[in-house]
Every structure is written in structure tokens, then in C-alpha cells.
Structure 1
């Protein structure tokens, strides 16, 4: 029982701030509208992502709405060409999929010459950016209001079954081509699980997975021990909320409670949670605080917690009785990553300082891929990189993004 509580709370403290790259200093400084350095914005943005993050740099950008088959309306942006325009026809599409508690804007926080989305566009690719349900640009539904708890009744299972297929199908219909895929953190999880079930394989040309998340048994966090000692019970009873919003309410109180405990240094919360990122620019971090974090469902956080607690990659666990009704068996079905087609080109890049995508867990993932075609599996290890370096690092262009461009061109 003690192990169960420890594991659950370890993932809670960690994933409640996954990828939340906080300022190394002054996180707890008071500022109007802020919660732990986060700026609180209205849930409905006044300006679309194209206007606020892409067009300002001189790129063409198109806004699309993609409806899932369960009624969620997703915001998708397209950068059809580089800043100079012209050039190649029939550009290869690339889909960028963000992680949990952030949105598609995270691909565009650095200047254009350092951001993956614009680098790909400038290198001749047709770039598409997804925003999953519940994030600020994707909070609409055909019948449900985001203030309705029913709106938040989903986990990453639903992202696999509904969101990812809707976006990939839309890109295929718009371009007539298979898409390359880039995922970070949870964006890698939903891709791997999807591929293991044979979903979207006919519309995906290759996949680049940054800080791959599939198995979470070895991740480390400075807050884990104090969290395990501080809490009793499951996170659903702690929050009692359908929406998990780090900017307000009970989640903010939770963070304050953690930071009041002896031995917890909230002035370097970034390092405590994501590992010691080597290469972040202070101005980019400040921009991040203006843009992120985003809401997700509490059910999604529970599902991620189950992944750590159970040590396996399975569908959402409702409990044995409800599992029988939902799945026809007492335990939730597993995602078997060994079923990923062996000839699907994969590029995996992970870091030695990453507290979330730990090297031992990546090794477990690679063990499931041990029969993958040798010439279709490319693995990159960067010793001094942590979780956020892969999307915000000032050296990521030279170390990672140029490799991705070459990888995609190899499988054009």
C-alpha cells in the first residue's frame, strides 16, 4: 500500500508540471495574475495562434478547425512554406504534436532560426501544428461547454482513438500525402500506442520522437519523496475536479503545499521536475510563462499516474468491475509496442539529464523495438540534455533539428 501511494503521488507531483519550464529564480515572487510564475489568461484567446506566434515573423500561416468523431473541435495551424516562399511543389507534410499541459505554441517559442516548426518550413516542408482537446485553442465541442465536467471525461486513450486520427486524416485529405510526425513527451506516447494498434500507419511516412515517453518506472524528481510523505489517498479525491488547470484553484494550492515543505527548492522547480536543462534562453522561458501551461483532464493525469504505478503501458484502468463493463475483462488491455510495424522509420532522441524520459525507461522502449528493421530505427543520445531542451534549447537546431530534417529527407 505504501508503494502504491508513493508511486501515485510521485507521478502526481511530477506530471502536474510536466514540461512546465519555470524561471530558475523568483518563481514564488508575487505578480498580479500569476500562480507560481504562470500568467493566468482567459480560456478563450482573443487572437489565433497564427497571428500571435507565426505571422509576426513573416511566415504564411493558415488556421483550421478539425472536428473529432466524438465532437471535439481542434485548432490546427499550417505553415505551408518558408519565409522566402516559392520553391518546391508538393512539399512533404510534417505534423508536430506537443506534450501534456502545453499546446502547439511551444514549437514556436524560440526565434524562427531556432524553432523546429519554422526550421522545417524553411527547409521545404509543409508544417502542421496540432493542439489537443482542452488546450486554449481547442476548448470547443459541438454540444459540450468546457465548464461541463463531461467535457473533460477523457484520457490519452481518447487522444489515440479520436484526436490523432482526426488531425492526420485531415492533413491527408488536404495534401494527398502521408505525413511525417514529430512528437515530444506525451506526443510520443500517443504515437507509439497508436502505431502499436496499427492506427494511422497508412497515413504516416515516418516519426521523430523527442524525449520519448512510454514507460515511466525510473523517472526521478526532487519532489517525489516529499510528495509521498505528504499525501494520503488518490489524486481524484484530492482534487475533485474534472479539469486539471495548473494556473488556478486546488492545483495551485497543491504546489504551494509542496513548496512549503522542508528540502523542496521551488526556486529551481524546473530542474527538480524536468532535470537540469542545459541550454534554455531566459527570454524564451519568460515567453513560456506568458503562454503556458495549459489545462488537461484530471482523468488524463490519473491515466499517466497508472502508467507509473502499474509499470506497464495499458488503457485506462477503471477498476475490475468497471473494466469488465468497459473492456469485457477485469484488467485494461495493454498496448504492445512490439507490434509497431518493423519497417516504419523511427528517429528517437533522448537526454542523459532528463528526469521524465529517463534513460532506463528509454532502454525498455528500445527493447520492445529490438526486432525493428535496423536501417529504419535511428537513436540519438545527448548526454547533457533534459526534457525541455528538445523543444526550447538554443542548441537544439544543431544537435537535433538538423538530424530530423535529414531523417525526413531520407524517407521522402
Structure 2
């Protein structure tokens, strides 16, 4: 029955090709980067989806038969923290918050946030930079509140805390020549965040604090973009004392999320058909999740956990606040690029197709990111219950990194728990503080 629904949805989508925006262009090319024609891409996508569907029915069946509480993910919250912005939230809980604006080399204007100290009057001589995940923002690091959110914990320990933002999210919707209603504004992937966004934000934080290096904590896409930066701009290794990778995403060959596995082969096609301006917003996600919930005959609570991993026993209290702040806007090309990693089994640059790849890279296929350039000491945090950052893929990443300082297996965490679990402070964050302090003594 599910396969029949998928075919029906696919037929509906292809009829929209005549009226919808069916192509996008990257700044590197004046032609659409999609390798195949729209029909060929669709046919290939349906073939790939059919192949994946045959391998995951047992997983889907288990999830759909779970006896879960019926939760409307988009229902209004009675917690005011879901509606306060980041400066209002920090003020509410007694923390200072500065907003700093930086401009990237390619013209994006990004607001980043700084919590220079906490409420305990402790002073530490170290600067810590935190980078969020896909469709998220700097807000994510404070949503659990004092004593639980990582940004507050670090600030209370006396660290100078900087919260980065990626182009296209709600804190980075400006450009010096483009308007966010133009498709060209959304012409980027997470590679551009590693090449342009992270360097300018890190440089700004170091300039303001008069430091030569800082500690970097990345979550999910915040790890992907970091590995891009240190691979393609290895001079930034000298500016990072240590990198903490929470739920690291690089290789994705073993991703276990049924929905990601099903749809990733068709991300190229769907990005052309479903989004006129190449970006994802909350309105689309509400519509998409509602459709998927209806097709699967399950509640949206189940659908979310079909992406990130089994239902979390740690997140019930913070979920309404989390959903008041995320998801935020992102480019569909970020999703397309991740889909390419799933399909190819590689950690590589964007695949434009053989002809454009030859023009851009000088080879038929995009090159892998050279992680031998990553000299920074890396601390890994990962979990078997994470269906996006699978242990097998993290082990591949670990094998390619030259300087693993420590590798930490966390039991029972799904992909979101690394940020939003009620016990993340006990299980992970307190350990990060200790690791920074210990490393600072040695350093």
C-alpha cells in the first residue's frame, strides 16, 4: 500500500513540472546543475526509491505499530520560551547577549550572538564557538534553559561563548546585492558555509576577543561544514584549539532513517518541482509532514522519529520550545548535497554531473574532501540510536581523521538528543567542560 501511495504522489509531482519552477542555477554555472533532464531525474529517482523501499518495510512496520502518544508537532505551545527571540530569552534568564554582524566574502550578512559571561562571575581565558545543525540556528544552544543548555553551562563556567549562524537561517537572511525572495539568494550548500560563513565568524570572534585560537563545538551540519572548512582552508587549523563533534555527519552510506533513505535519491528532482525559490520553510514542512503522516497512517510524532531515531525518553519537556524556534529556513541544495552523500557513500563535493564536474573540478566525479588536512584534535560524540549519524559512518570518519583526541559512545541518544535531551548536561556537556579545562592546562 505504501508503494502505491508513493507512485501516486510521484505521478502528481510529475504533472506539476509544466507549471512549477523546474531548475536552479549555482553561481558557478549559468545552466541548471542537475545532471539529468527533469524526466530522466524523476525516472531515476523512482527507481532508486523503489530499490530502497524493498529494504526497509520491516523498519517502517515497527515504527508504525508503536503505541505512541498522539502529538501535534505544530500545536501552539503554552510555554512563552517558544515565542521569545534569542535576546529576549537570554535576558529572561539573566544572561548578557550581544549581537554581532559579519559579511561573508560572497556577500551574505550573518548575525551571530555572544554570551561573554554567565551568572556565576567565573572568568575563563578561553573562547568557545558553537555551530548549529541543518534548519536550525544559534537559538538551539540555549533552549533548554540555565543549567541544561550548553551555551549557558559554558558561560557559567566563565567561557566567552559565541553562537554562529549559517546563511539562509532566520538570523542570516540578508545579502549586500540579493533579496531573499530571489532564487539566487538560496544558491548555496553547506560547503559554502564551510568556505565562507565559518571563517568570517571565527575571525570576528578572535578579533573581538583578541585571541589567536578558540574551541569549536559543532552539531550535525555544524560538523559537516567544519570538516569542509579545515579540508579546503587548512590554514584554519591553527585557529582551532580543539573540535567537539556532536552527532557528526560526513559519510552517510549507512544512514538508517527510512524516510531519508527513501527520499534522498530523489532530492534533486524534488528540489526542482516542489520549491519555486529553492528554500525550505516552516509552511512547506507543515504541509509535507502532514502529507506523509496521512500516507503512512500515523502521527507526525512518529514521522519525526523516523528521521532522527527512535522516540526519545529525554525530550518531552523541551519539545514545544524547540519547535517554536526550529525548523528555520534553509536552501534545498543543502538537502540535495546530503542526498548525494547518502547515494554515493562518499564525503565529497557537490555533484554537478559529468560535464559540469569536468569544468569545475577537472574530473567526471566530484573530489572527496581531504580530511588529511584536518589537524585539529577532534572529540567525537555519537550514539547507536542516531539514525542520521550512524556508528558505521562515524567510524569511517574516525578512520580518516588524523588527530582523534577522544571518541565517546552515548547510549540511547537519537540525533536531536545531543542538543535537546534533558540529561545532555549530565551525559555530555559536563564532560565537554572538563575536556576543555584539561586540554587548556596541557596546552
Decide whether the 8 Å contact of 1:184 with 1:212 is kept in 2: yes
Which protein is bigger by CA-based radius of gyration?
Answer: 2
* Residues 297-316 of structure 1 mapped to structure 2, 5 A cutoff: 297-316=331-350
Does 1:37 pair with 2:74?
Answer: yes
For 1:381, the equivalent position in structure 2 comes to: 409
Does 1:74 pair with 2:110?
Answer: yes
Counterpart-to-counterpart distance in 1, 2:277 and 2:267: 20
TM-score of the superposition, structure 1-length normalised? 0.84
Decide whether the 8 Å contact of 1:243 with 1:295 is kept in 2: no
* Residues 243-322 of structure 1 mapped to structure 2, 5 A cutoff: 243-249=278-284, 251-262=285-296, 264-322=298-356
- Number of aligned residues: 376
Does 1:153 pair with 2:190?
Answer: no
Structure with the bigger percentage of helix: 2
Q: Which runs of 5+ in 2 are unaligned?
A: 1-43, 54-67, 78-82
Provide, for residues 292-314 of structure 1, a one-character-per-residue CA deviation record: whole Å limited to 9, x for no partner: 11111111111111111111111
Distance change >3 Å, CA 37–CA 285, structure 1 → 2: same
Q: CA deviation at 1:164?
A: 0.5
TM-score of the superposition, structure 2-length normalised? 0.78
Counterpart-to-counterpart distance in 2, 1:354 and 1:73: 33
* Residues 101-112 of structure 1 mapped to structure 2, 5 A cutoff: 101-112=135-146
Q: Which runs of 5+ in 1 are unaligned?
A: 11-23, 30-35, 41-45
- Helix, strand or coil: the match of 1:173? helix
Counterpart-to-counterpart distance in 1, 2:342 and 2:208: 38
Decide whether the 8 Å contact of 1:38 with 1:292 is kept in 2: no
Does 1:170 pair with 2:204?
Answer: yes
Distance change >3 Å, CA 312–CA 88, structure 1 → 2: same
For 2:251, the equivalent position in structure 1 comes to: 215
Q: CA deviation at 1:166?
A: 0.6
Counterpart-to-counterpart distance in 1, 2:267 and 2:190: 25
Distance change >3 Å, CA 206–CA 226, structure 1 → 2: closer
Distance change >3 Å, CA 359–CA 4, structure 1 → 2: farther
Does 1:349 pair with 2:400?
Answer: no
For 1:398, the equivalent position in structure 2 comes to: 426
Provide, for residues 177-211 of structure 1, a one-character-per-residue CA deviation record: whole Å limited to 9, x for no partner: 11100000010111122222314112111110000
Distance change >3 Å, CA 111–CA 232, structure 1 → 2: closer
For 2:6, the equivalent position in structure 1 comes to: none
For 2:49, the equivalent position in structure 1 comes to: 6
Counterpart-to-counterpart distance in 2, 1:153 and 1:181: 26
- Helix, strand or coil: the match of 2:318? helix
For 1:99, the equivalent position in structure 2 comes to: 133
